[in-house]
Chain A
Amino acid sequence: MSTHRFELLTRRRATMAAICALLLIAAGTSAPAAYAAWTAALAGAGTATAGTIATTSTLSTIDSRVSNDDYQTTHVVEVRNTPPAGSTYTGTSDATLVVNAAAAHPLASVMSVSVWPVVNAAACTASTAPGADTVSGTWTAGLTSVSASVLPNASAYFCVRGYPTESTPLPASPATAAEQNRSVVAAQLGSASTQSFTPAYVGQVQRGSFTATSVTTPTSTLSTFRIFPYSALTPGSLYAPSVHVATSGLCYNISGGGNLSAPGASLIAYSCSSASVTPRNERFAQLPVPGTDSVQVRADSTDSTYGFLEANTAGTLVQSQVGDASNLRQRWIPQVLSNGTRQLINAATGYCLFGTGGSGSAFTTQPCNNQVGESSTWNTAGL
């Protein structure tokens, strides 16, 4: 065998060896057979459009009168959650109520408002205690209530209570402590005319980031009624007040003559004395009670311990008693009317001192209602 032939054979062997190696590798790697999966394709498609949520707010009839005996107003606002037609959503949305004044007014700045959610309209009355989730502020500043969960096509209810800012803590029932209304009186700003402002209520419903609002305002404003500016007379000076009743010429009089040291004598209307010196049981002084906007009214007893006008517990009589400035029924809020006459508001009840009739008739107290007998003229007493 020639050298050339031997080399040729050697190359063939090498070539075949390489082929065999490749075949082995191929056989080894292809042992787990790979199969191309057969498939069939299906498809479905559509579009989605968002709806618009809506809400309506309904205001109950509000006690729009802020008076000396009831300066607190309580009413309920219904906020309804109205989903778009066709919505199948059954979860809840968040309802809130925003309360403020439609326009700035001094009365709105001294009146506070508290709002809290209630389960239904019946759960909001004048005697309802505010809930733990109450939010408070002034009408002028406005506030937003906590949110209440509300189902679709259902309503959330919010109890709203307005009261003088100085009433602290928030009264839980119709306030009768008229002394607390001094901020309202102060809001009169020297004007004897009625003060009023219009509250505004904005109901909001929120679902996710979607929000709907509705604004409602009461048909009547929130107004003062028979509340007049605070006006005390010169402390300690003596006056002979005459009451304005149908019969003219009747003055304040402690019954029983000059026996002012006997507690329990009633204040009556009696013909004014014509003497140049006013009798002691017809002359009275106003004594300011420090730290309050009230005064004690004292007949000019020789003993300064006695002669203090005090409404009895029922408010049916006003009697001369031993002085006690801590007794609200013995404190009176002097207010001056536009015609210069005055009315005395009992601090315990907010009622007006009221002359009921002719000579000899007893004074009593009653809600101020612009009636004769509620006001009087305080002339300087003859001494």
Chain B
Amino acid sequence: MQWSNPRPRLRSTPSASASAAWPWSLAVATLVVATAAAVPGSLALWNDADTVDAGTIATGSINAAIAPGSAVPTTATSVALGDVSAMIPGETRGATFTVRNTGNVDFQLLAHANAMTSPYLGLSITEGACSSTPPVGTSLSSTPVEIGPMPFLPSTNVTFCLGITLSESTPEAMQGTLIGSYSIDLTARTL
């Protein structure tokens, strides 16, 4: 640690050369002030220095995979959740899928419904595999909602049950017909 003794200030008079250097001095001073303002704490005149061993800086990777049912996902990023048939109004069917954090950083998992082709279909999601009577969990819309653990740790799997519900108001004429397709988008996002 060293103490820098300030040199006595000298009163100078303007000169042509000094006048020419003044704008650059002002800029440097401004940068110093700006930097000081941006750094928390005060810049003390006391300072110290140590030698730090050389190291490496590596970037993290955010990766996720999805698989149907409770299978351990590997690399797939999309999955067919199946064709739900013979639904009646008010009925909720479940489609189980599993998400795995295949990267090496924690992430937050968000879900939203996407590309719903029928107003009579609704989606909801709960954590855990579907039972014979899927519970109605968090409703999904086009607005992403957080699902699963927070944070979603690397090398962990979480199984979800996607509930597909046929509306009570599904018209009589739609008996025995294709209601439409449903889709869920999941986004793994860094914290």
Contacts and interface: CB of A to CB of B under 8 A. Distances in A.
- Tier of interface size on chain B: 35 or more
Contact of A39 (B31, B121, B172, B187): B187
B30 interface: yes
B85 A13 contact: no
A49 B84 contact: yes
Contact of B169 (A43, A53, A209): A209
B26 A20 contact: yes
Interface centre among B22, B23, B168 (most CB of A within 10 A): B23
A9 B19 contact: yes
Chain A's interface size range is 35 or more
Contact of A44 (B33, B34, B78, B105): B78
A211 B62 CA distance: 50
A48 B185 contact: no
What DSSP secondary structure best describes chain A's contact surface?
Answer: mixed
Contacts of A20: 26-27, 30-31
Contacts of B180: 47-48
Interface stretch (A62-70, A78-86, A227-235): A78-86
A16 interface: yes
Given A42-B78, A208-B168, A50 B181 contact: no
Contacts of B179: 47-50
Contacts of B186: 41-44
Interface string B49-87: 000000000001011111000000000011111111111
Given A27-B34, A208-B90, A209-B169, A44 B95 contact: yes
The 7 A-B pairs with the shortest beta carbon distances in the complex, nearest first, are A208-B89, A51-B86, A16-B23, A20-B30, A42-B186, A84-B86, A89-B91
Given A12-B23, A51-B87, 7 more contacts: A45-B182, A48-B180, A87-B88, A90-B133, A208-B90, A209-B169, A209-B170
Interface of A: 1, 5, 9, 12-13, 15-17, 19-20, 23-24, 27-28, 31, 37-53, 83-91, 207-211
